[in-house]
Copies of this chain bind each other. A is one copy, B any other.
Amino acid sequence: MPRVGIAGATGYTGIELVRLLSAHPHVSVRRLYSKSHAGRLFSDIFPQFLGHVDLPLDPLSVDTLSDIDILFLALPHGQAQHYFDLFQSFNIRVVDLSADFRLANPVDYTLYYGEPHIKPDLLGSIPLGLPEFYRDEIRDAPYVACPGCYATSVMLALKPAATAGWVKGPVIADAKSGVSGAGKTLKESSLYCEVNGTFSAYATHSHRHRPEMELVTGQTVLFSPHLVPMNRGILASVYVPVVEHLTQSQVYAHYQSTYADAPFVTIHEGSKTPSTKYIWGTNNCWLTVRLCPDINQLVIFSAIDNLLKGASGQAIQCMNIMIGAPETSGLPAITPYL
């Protein structure tokens, strides 16, 4: 049974990884890494894990790397690139949830992350952890770079239309996310009273997930993220100017067939209104596909749980492929109603 380590185990995506992997039927969680809480027990910090996950938190170091076969990196950007060679030398397969290896172009990385990449030659060679499109590349990869939460929601919505050659202008991706997307970092804008009761836009046309979307879909995207007063969930409303003479059934059929083998993506007709309610707590992606033929606009709503399909769930989905387990292993399938 592969032995798993989780770095950044005390952040929101890290905790989700711990929760799901500790109950996963095909792997064994051996090491939890945390800089801020090293030396304590995981269940001492998070008493809801008492009796379930009582592992210690270690600093990420050479001392324990021989204990693990697969390592999940739930770290801020800028760290994975430093560790890359080390993990290779230990023959550890890595599922990286950070942004370090998502982009193909070092110039884009510098532009969006504010400093040069230290492994620029590797950019573009690491498979993207979006199994619906890169399953084969993921299977034998030593290192997988999972896309951002927003990026995942928009890629799944837009790529089929793009591949079909239907897009004829800039795409508007108006996305809305729950607050856990901002992580557990202490900042005033994440305080309860600052968020509760309000709805805000931010980072319009400048968010770091934008170049990921454009890279994978080959389209120009006006990406416009917003913050919703709720814990979990993303709903992306993607507006695509399309060629004339498309029909709703044609569009629907194309999306259906694109995702015929994707266990976590469900396509819904345009009359089904989407909600994060239908997918939270699972690794599912809900796509409502609706053509507005009067104005040649295709509207695709994409709902995912930002912590699952947008992060930890998708990372486990990648790992399942990497270890030859069923793609759905250890991932919650049924959404709690409330």
Contacts and interface: CB of A to CB of B under 8 A. Distances in A.
A19 B239 contact: no
20 contacts: A19-B336, A22-B334, A23-B334, A47-B268, A47-B272, A172-B174, A172-B239, A174-B239, A184-B188, A192-B192, A192-B229, A194-B277, A197-B231, A197-B233, A200-B273, A200-B276, A226-B235, A229-B229, A229-B230, A281-B336
Contact of A46 (B205, B297, B337): B337
Contacts of A281: 336
A281 B233 CA distance: 17
A275 interface: yes
Interface residues of A, number: 83
Interface string A12-27: 1001100100110000
B299 A16 contact: no
Contact of A220 (B197, B200, B201, B295): B295
**CB-CB nearest 8 A-B residue pairs:** A200-B275, A48-B335, A198-B277, A186-B186, A174-B174, A192-B195, A170-B295, A15-B337
A270 interface: yes
Interface centre among A200, A278, A337 (most CB of B within 10 A): A337
A153 interface: no
Q: Which of A23, A51, A241, A338 has the most CB of B within 10 A?
A: A338
A231 B288 CA distance: 26
A273 B202 contact: yes
B239 A239 contact: yes
Interface in A278-326: 278-281, 288, 290, 292, 295, 297, 299, 301, 307
Contacts of A184: 188, 191, 193
Contact of A50 (B186, B191, B266): B266
A52 interface: yes
A48 to B, nearest CB: 4
A179 interface: yes
Nearest to A296: B170
A190 B187 contact: no
Contact of A201 (B15, B46, B50, B237): B237
Contacts of A252: none
Contacts of A48: 277-279, 334-335, 337
Given A230-B199, A233-B199, A273-B200, A193 B174 contact: no
